[in-house]
Amino acid sequence: MKTILSKNAGRKRSKVRLLVGSLLVILLFFAGMVGAIFHHQLGPVNSNDLEEHSFVVEYGSTPGEIASNLARENLIKNQRSFLLYARITGKINQFKAGQYIFTPSHSSREIIDLLIEGRVATETFTIPEGYHLRQIAQVFAEKGIAEEEEFWDAVKNGEFDYPFLQDLPRDERRLEGYLFPDTYIIAKDMEVEKVLDVMLKRFAEVYKKVSPENPGLGVHDAVTLASIVEGESLLDRERPLVASVFLNRLEIGMKLDSDATIQYLFDERKGRVLYADLEIDSPYNTYRNRGLPPGPIGSPGEASLRAVFEPADTDYFYFVARKDNSGEHVFAATFSEHVRNKNLLGY
């Protein structure tokens, strides 16, 4: 009797194990199916579609709003799967505002990673050495960074926390010389005031690097002189020589007679400064006024700023450009020597 009961109990346990095993197989099958579906829904909408789409995440947007907008623009397959994945990976509250570039070939995982990295769409622009504010305003307008009216409003009224700007009048020349010439990469749609702040910060970094502890010249005068050196010289190796000429002239109260300060009076650079131009009544005309002009005439680069603080030790008071388009000059200590040089060069 005991043997029969034992056999029956064994059969029941076998059936139970078989049933449990079957259920596990079924559960694993369905789990696999759910996982496959979930994985598919997280995949790209179209892995072959590389067309770029601009996508903006506004400040204060909820994850649900972001997912809904992504789905509406056909950049993700399923917003619920998107949100579920973001939640279980702990990334759902890390999305950053900004303008992004996505393609339908991006998977939901990739989009989520880009959103938490804040890898926003960028704009690149270059300001060449010597550019003045009018030219910089044109670059901003051409690049879509800011309309010229916005640019000038930010120049005059922007709040910038830099000591070198504190005593300058809030007019259209306020930032002249202080927007450092360089190549910048900024976020698309960055406010113009913030862009200017990036350029001012770069100026502050370079100026601190090249200026000595006791510079002798105040910041405004140093930048003004450096902008003239920038406008008069094309070759970095000549900038210390050009700086020495102007510093020597300033020391004895001689007029600077800089063509670059005349060019600043025109919207576009002239091919040649005429004698009539030298009679223009302007505080920036260094042929009529002694000393430095009221402010910079453009944005000097690092080499010109350094030249003002590390000029060549010369007795030069004059220089004239060669006519061979080399950018080189011939320097002289006396006026008679200068006249001889001009004659030899064919002036």
Q: Map out the domains of the chain as residue ranges.
A: 16-120, 135-210, 219-345
Q: In this structure, how many other beta carbons lie within 10 angstroms of the beta carbon of residue 307?
A: 29
Query: What confidence score (pLDDT) does residue 222 get?
Result: 96
3-class state of residue 114 by DSSP: helix
pLDDT digits (tens, 9 = 90+) for 107-156: 999 999 999 988 777 889 999 999 999 999 999 999 999 999 999 999 99
Confidence at 59, pLDDT banded by 50, 70, 90: confident
> What is the value of pTM for the model shown?
0.74
CA atoms in the 13 A half-sphere facing the CB of 31: 6
- Tens of pLDDT, residues 213-236: 777 889 999 999 999 999 999 999
Q: Is 264 left (phi over 0), alpha (psi -120 to 50) or beta?
A: alpha
The angle formed by the CA atoms of residues 322, 324 and 330, to the nearest 5 degrees, is 20
Q: Return the SS3 of 90.
A: coil
Show Cβ contacts of residue 273 under 8 Å, excluding neighbours closer than 6 positions.
Answer: 259, 262, 263
- Predicted confidence (pLDDT) per residue in 68-88, tens digit: 999 999 999 999 999 999 999
Mean pLDDT score of the chain = 89
Strand residue runs (E) in the chain = 53-57, 98-102, 122-126, 183-187, 318-321, 329-332
Quick one: DSSP state of residue 92? Answer: T
- Share of residues in the chain with pLDDT > 70 (%): 89
How far apart, in Å, are the Cα atoms of 80 and each of 65, 230, 302?
12, 59, 53
Q: Which residues contact 282 (CB under 8 A, 6 or more apart)?
A: 265, 288
HSE-CB of 314 using CA atoms within 13 angstroms: 23
| Residue 241 pLDDT > 60 | yes
Cα 99 from chain centroid? 16
Give residues with Cβ within 8 angstroms of 183, minimum separation 6. 124, 125, 126
In Å, what is the CA distance from 117 to each residue of 87, 96, 98, 101, 110? Answer: 16, 7, 11, 13, 10
Return the CATH number of 16-120, one of 3.30.1490.480, 3.40.1710.10, 3.10.20.340, 3.30.465.10. 3.30.1490.480
DSSP string, 227-270: HHHHHH-S-GGGHHHHHHHHHHHHHHT-----HHHHHTTSSS--
Q: What angle do CA 207, 330, 341 make, to 5 degrees?
A: 150
DSSP-assigned letter for residue 211: S
Cβ-based neighbours of 77, under 8 Å, separated by 6 or more? 40, 41, 42, 43, 45, 71, 108
CA 255 from chain center: how many Å?
A: 37
Beta-strand ranges (E) seen in 82-143 are 98-102, 122-126
Which two tokens mark 228? 């003239």
pLDDT tens digits along 264-278: 999 888 888 888 989
Q: Which pLDDT belongs to residue 272?
A: 85
